[in-house]
Structures are given as C-alpha cells and as structure tokens.
Chains A and B, each alone.
Chain A
Amino acid sequence: MTELELVRLAKAGDRTAVAELLSANATQAYRLAQHILRNQADAEDATQSALVKAFTNLGRFDEQRPFLPWLLRIVSHEALNLQRAERTRFNFWQRHNPGVQSEESVESVVLVRQQYRDLWRAMNRLNASDRLVLTLSYFMGLREAEVATTLGIKLGTVKSRKHNALARLRSLVQRDFPGLRDEVLGRPEPDGTSS
C-alpha cells in the first residue's frame, strides 16, 4: 500500500492505517525530537504530542505533498516549544551549570567512537537553529527541499543555513577539539593549510 493510500485511509478513521503510518514514521519523529531536546523522556513526550496533533489534524494535510516533512515540521514545533519551556524551568540550574545538560546528555545516543562523541559535543554547542538544519540534513537524510518543507523556509535559505552551520561547526572543531580537528579536517600544515 502506498503512503498516499495509507494517509487517505487514516483520514477516514481506519485504525490499522493509523497504526501503520505511526510505526512507519514514529522513529524518524522521535529521532528529530531526540536531537532537539537531547533527553529521552522529553523526546518521547514531544514525539507523542506531535503525533497526536498530526493525526488529529490529518484533514489539513495536503495529500499532494510528502508526509514525513509535514510530520517533522509538527515534531520540531513541539520539541522547540518544549525546549523553551524546559529552558525557562531549568534556567536557574543552567545559569550556574552551563552546558551540563547539553554536553553530557549523550547517554541515549550510542556513539561508540571517541571521534563521534567529540563531534556530538561540538554539535551541542551550536545554537538550536544550526543543530536542527544539520540534524535534518545529515542524520535524518532529508533532501534540501524536504528540509525546506520541514522548516517552512525557502530552499535557498536551507542552503545558506546549512553552509553557515557547517562553517560554525568547523570553527568550533578547530578551536576546541584538536583531536577531532586532526582526524576529521586533517592535520594543519605549517603553512596553515590542511593535509
């Protein structure tokens, strides 16, 4: 059965179709929420809330468009809203312990190699907007047009945001992660170029 057929059945209230659409997309939705929130419980909350919203508003979904970017857009809104709320709540902790949550909350993401742990930590130092565009592009495997739909921005904006986020990530790696810099970017030559 195609995705479009599933969506139409789900819109008509077919519970099997709803369950199938859920199981096909829940992991991707959770993955995005996890990247934004970096906390398993919050990611599950945001995903659940987003999927409930999505499926109770299926009538508004334009069937001519792909389903996943539409769903991920709702997930990112829910996750960012939750993040804002959590940030307000935990403001007084983080003021005195900056970075504790953002850098150390890798426990639910299995990163075997040290290189990836450092890259994850570097990514967590980026702002939410940069992390989101990199996550959608490289971890979720979305095409730029899909990223644009998910974020509700123009294709050209996706390209520039992605480039700028990568450049900022590179600066962080060069400045604060010497091991990662040598391994990923190449060891700097005496004349300042990379090997």
Chain B
Amino acid sequence: MTDYSELERLESALVEMGRGMAYAPTPDFLPSLLTGLEKAKGERPTKGGDRRVNRAYQVEGSLLEVCTCDIICPCWVGEDPDGGTCESALAWRIDKGEVNGLDVSGRILAALIHIPGNVLKGNWRAMIYVDDKTTPQQQQALLDVWTGKLGGAMADLAKLVGEVVGVERVPITFEVEGVQGTLKIGQAAEARLAPFQGAMGQPTALHDSIFSTIPGSPVYVGKASLFRSNQPALGHSFTIEGHSALQGFFRFEG
C-alpha cells in the first residue's frame, strides 16, 4: 500500500533542496549565447524553415595514440620530445560523420609520424592509412579533411606536416575493451594501451594543452604496454613498452 505521508515528506524535501541549489554558468555564457544567435541568423535556411549550419564536414569519434616519448608525451604541452624526436602512431575512428554530404561513419584514418623535434615547429613526416573498407570517395573525403583542405581544426594540425610519404589502404583494428585500447595498422604498427585513472576511477585527463591531435576535447593520458612500429619510409623499426599513450574523443567541423 502506498504511504502518501512519506511521499509528501519526500516532495517537501525535494522542493526545499531545489531552493538550496545554486547554479553557476560560466561568466561568458550569456554573451556567447548572444554570439551564437547572431551566427545562427546568418546561416542558410533549409526547406523546412529550419536553419542549418552550412558545413563542409562534421566528424566525431575516438582517438588512440601512442608514441616513443616517456609518460606523459611532452609534445602535448609544447616541450621538446623525450629523446629528441617523437615517433608516433595514431588513429581517429569516426563514429559518425559526413564530408560534403558523404557519409564517412565507421571509417578509420591512421598515421605513423616522425616528428623531428619540437612538435610546434612542424616538418613532420607522415604515412597515412585508411581502413580497407573505405571507398575511394570516402578516402578522398577523409584526406580532404585531414590535409586541411576543408579548413577547421584539422587545417591547423595539417600545417605541421611537411611531407606525406604515402597513403595506404590496410586492415585497421581499433578496439576499446573496458579501458584497454588496441590499435593495429596493417602489418606496420601495433599498440596496446590503457589510461591512468584518478582516485574515483575516472580517466586522468589533460585539458587545454597547447598542442592536440583532437583540438577542442580533453585527452586521457595513459601508458602503452606495447608499441611496435615498422615503417622504413619513416625510419620506424622498434618495439617498446611502457611509453606514452593517449585516448580521447573528438568532434571536428569545418
């Protein structure tokens, strides 16, 4: 049988609790809201009278990244890499996205990279991979985004690449089981990684770093129990353990 007096006491407690709550949006919340409205006014109305942002691309998904630096990779905070260079493997898995109207959901773009010195000085050399289920149209669309042709956050990152030594279509494994990540890029690279965790079990995050491969999002810092890379064009031929690893989520648009 329902005890209405208990429910009434609970209702009173909820009302009283609601009165005791304080909400504090950040100080620039309202100004940024007005800016958003002004921006929306200039956007192209669609047939339904709705307004939609006219974007060339919008992609979102997950990142796995490992490198030869010690933990945590100093490149992310603009410092010189441990050992003078940073040899890395990274992959962006697109959970959902479109490039100029073409659906690229489910696709993976990976890269093996040689960074010759400070990350912000550029001159990177990169080998690009797309997963073997990528159609030629999707491959071109992904390259258009990741080489910066379509602007947005990726264009800033692309400026740091001095040379793309090649583009290959290979089987790519991008898995996250529990907190363990696994990345395999054809026969060229393999990595296993896991994030560090805070006292409450949440992943340890790095925010607002000067450099990022997922601009605009925090990255979770971790350790790679294995990182093997074999790409002669970049001078990669190593298998290492216990080095820097990063995981995260991204949302890019341009």
Contact = CB atoms under 8 A, between A and B. Distances in A.
A109 interface: yes
Nearest to A59: B49
Contacts, number: 131
Contacts of A169: 10
Contacts of A43: 25
Interface stretch (A24-32, A61-69, A73-81, A144-152): A24-32
> Which size bracket describes the interface of A in this complex?
35 or more
Contact of B17 (A18, A23, A96, A119): A119
Contacts of B9: 184-186
Contact of B179 (A18, A19, A92, A170): A92
Given A55-B40, A92-B179, A97 B201 contact: yes
Contacts of B22: 109-110
B203 interface: yes
Contact of B11 (A26, A93, A111, A166): A166
Given A22-B33, A56-B51, A119 B179 contact: no
B200 A96 contact: no
Contact of B201 (A30, A100, A109): A100
A52 B51 CA distance: 10
| From A22, A48, A110, residue with most partner B Cβ within 10 Å | A48
B14 A119 contact: yes
Nearest to B175: A92
Interface in A153-192: 163, 166-167, 169-170, 173, 184-186
Interface string A103-120: 010001111110110011
Given A85-B60, A108-B24, 10 more contacts: A22-B37, A27-B23, A30-B29, A48-B29, A56-B41, A97-B197, A109-B22, A139-B17, A170-B6, A185-B6
